[in-house]
A and B are shown apart, each in its own frame.
Chain A
């Protein structure tokens, strides 16, 4: 597999499988799904053989590889910096404390990475150490360069950041779960996830957004930008003027859920 300028590989890691996508960051080339490998990630030592099968006939040596971890494998939460925090250690302690409080897990088994900010609440994520170590080991084994390991939602936030507008809420639909990032201006207020009930339509979305706005204490957004496998019916239509809803992606582009995970943040 020849590598052209600006090209890199993306591995999507979900609880039910792995996927490999080739993307080009230059020249606006479309992502290309290369392989998929269903597996049960929670089975002991499932990742390494799974990756071996995923890469079966693809020489990956020398490629830059980014990994997108499905949100169900991670913990994602919001941290309010302690007043008067001056050092990164203060923020780290605050994030660890909040993590323990919210999820009850020992921070020693998790690695926390966050968009550290001493002035305003920031987003933090924790990934299991075991998973990250397995990924590093796979990078050594297949001699590729692990350049980025991101939560799925963060990959989408970053991938669509040029399209996103200040004040608009951002949402992602994946695996029947809608994750919403509530914004006020440029400041992230909260990140919340909810399962989408069967047959959810635009009315359900309106009510859901209104309820979430109340719950997080933010004003109802004027615009909602959605990515992922979004039902076409959720797009804005005349007569419903509660808020505009723009779909960055829809669910009818023929991509499987696993491949969509690996590709997240780039349009097909």
Chain B
């Protein structure tokens, strides 16, 4: 036989009374009344905490407003004063612009494009971008003039580069392998 709790039986919920708050309260176990002081205490504490929180919130808002007003004041003074004190020389302006262009250079894209187009028979020596003219000067070495010419035509075919020209080439006599060192200039991007 199953062990049973000796805890009485459950309520038979048969009731014809009209439903309502009174009925619900009446059905609650009467001993809950003894919990009422605890519930009241909890509610009072919660209300107190809430009140305190709201007060602090208001205080914080006031402080934030004061801080904002304090920092706003010099700003408005400064903005009120006109800015023509600073005169920028044309040379300075162009230097700044050049620096900005240099900084804005799509360096990673360029390097990737060039590296992607370079076959193993060609060794890249240097990449010198000129942001102002949107020109890239590539210095490389190849074993033979055929490799060099193939490389140039490949660069010409590369998208994103225009007017790829061989500007200079020479045979490195000092090197026992006698490599061919050459320089290409290429324009990038839309003018």
Contact = CB atoms under 8 A, between A and B. Distances in A.
Interface of A: 5-6, 8, 25-26, 64, 66-67, 69, 111, 113-116, 123-125, 127, 132, 136, 145-151, 154, 157-158, 161-167, 185-186
Interface string B8-30: 11111111111010110111001
Interface size class of B (residues with CB under 8 A): 20 to 34
A147 B11 contact: no
Interface of B is mostly: loop
B86 interface: no
B4 A185 contact: yes
Contacts of A8: 26
A114 B14 contact: yes
Contact of A151 (B2, B14, B23, B33): B14
Contacts of A127: 16
Contacts of A116: 13
B6 A115 contact: no
28 contacts: A5-B33, A6-B33, A8-B26, A26-B30, A26-B31, A113-B14, A113-B15, A113-B16, A114-B14, A116-B13, A123-B12, A136-B18, A146-B18, A147-B17, A147-B23, A148-B15, A148-B17, A148-B23, A149-B16, A149-B17, A150-B14, A150-B15, A151-B14, A154-B14, A157-B9, A161-B11, A163-B8, A186-B9
A157 B12 contact: yes
Given A64-B22, A147-B26, A161-B10, A186 B17 contact: no
B9 A115 contact: no
Interface of B: 2, 4-6, 8-18, 20, 22-23, 25-27, 30-31, 33
A145 B8 CA distance: 29
A118 to B, nearest CB: 14
A161 B9 contact: yes
B13 A115 contact: yes
Given A6-B33, A26-B33, A123 B14 contact: yes
A127 to B, nearest CB: 5
A254 B125 CA distance: 120
A185 B6 CA distance: 11
Contacts of B30: 6, 25-26
Contacts of A154: 12, 14
Nearest to A132: B16
Given A25-B30, A166-B9, A111 B22 contact: no
A164 B14 contact: no
Closest 4 pairs (CB-CB, A-B)? A149-B16, A147-B26, A25-B30, A162-B8
Given A64-B26, A166-B4, A146 B17 contact: yes
Nearest to A26: B30
Nearest to A185: B4
